[in-house]
Amino acid sequence: MIRDLNVNDFLYILSAARWTLLLSILAIAGGGVVGAAILAGRLSRLKFVRVIAFGYIQFLQATPLLMQLFLVFFGGTMIGIRFDPWTAALIAFSLHASAFLGDIWYGSVEAVPRSQWEGAYSVALSRPKTFRLVIAPQALRIAVAPTVGFLVQLIKGTSLASIIGFVELVRAGQFINNSTLKPLFVYGFVACIFFAICWPLSKWSQGLEARLARGYGR
């Protein structure tokens, strides 16, 4: 039965934002841990490790996130595991994030001039110390903007989790729209919430990048 929109409908949609945020935060945390391992693999002196890390990135970047969600959600049954929508979404988004973060961070390390490595080696610093004391601080400055930019994309991408039944912002909006048939108001409100979450992150990224640049004398 079609009914009118009311305040409780908007509060319900707003409350669903916490699941969007929680999924994004946990996915970026899990993806960051795996992404750091991928970065270490890309920097390894062992060729087969570099090849595996490169292949991992290429596969996850070259396949749609929606397909990855389906593979995790439905693929678990093939090995006797039934993932609920929340767990499947978290695993899929974490894997997706790890590939992009690993690639972003590797590109940031590669952007540091090779002379920085050579200069550190010339004063007898080991490879791990060179990376930790010389390369990583410079790579961090380079990586800030694309990392936060990816986080913004990940937050918006959580809407795909509604396909497997995970109730986040878009899914909550679908529930309300099905009852009220007011798509302009419902999805307009959903869009405003996404904007309210993502726009401050973009501005924070710009400010942080500027502060880091000043810290390095630029």
What is the token pair recorded at 55?
Answer: 């292949």
The pLDDT > 90 percentage for the chain reads: 70
pLDDT digits (tens, 9 = 90+) for 184-198: 999 999 999 999 999
Torsion of CA 132, 135, 137, 143, to 10 degrees: -120
pLDDT digits (tens, 9 = 90+) for 70-90: 999 998 877 778 899 999 999
In this predicted structure, the answer to whether residue 218 has a pLDDT above a threshold of 60 is no
- Could you tell me what percentage of the chain is helix, strand and coil, using 3-state DSSP and rounding each to the nearest 5? 85, 0, 15
The pLDDT > 70 percentage for the chain reads: 97
Q: On the CB side of 56, how many CA atoms lie within 13 Å of its CA?
A: 23
Given a contact cutoff of 8 angstroms between Cβ atoms, the answer to whether 147 and 102 are in contact is no
pLDDT value for 213 = 66
pLDDT value for 82 = 86
In this predicted structure, the answer to whether residue 216 has a pLDDT above a threshold of 70 is no
Nearest Cα neighbor of 149 from 72, 194, 92, 202 is: 202
Give every CB contact of residue 63 below 8 A, 6+ residues apart in sequence: none
What domains are there in the chain, each with its CATH number?
7-215 (1.10.3720.10)
Nearest Cα neighbor of 99 from 163, 30, 47, 148 is: 30
pLDDT digits (tens, 9 = 90+) for 161-187: 999 989 999 999 999 999 999 999 999
Band of residue 47 on the pLDDT scale cut at 50, 70, 90: very high
pLDDT value for 173 = 94
Please tell me the distance from the alpha carbon of residue 151 to that of residue 154, in angstroms, as a whole number: 5
What is the token pair recorded at 182?
Answer: 């007011």
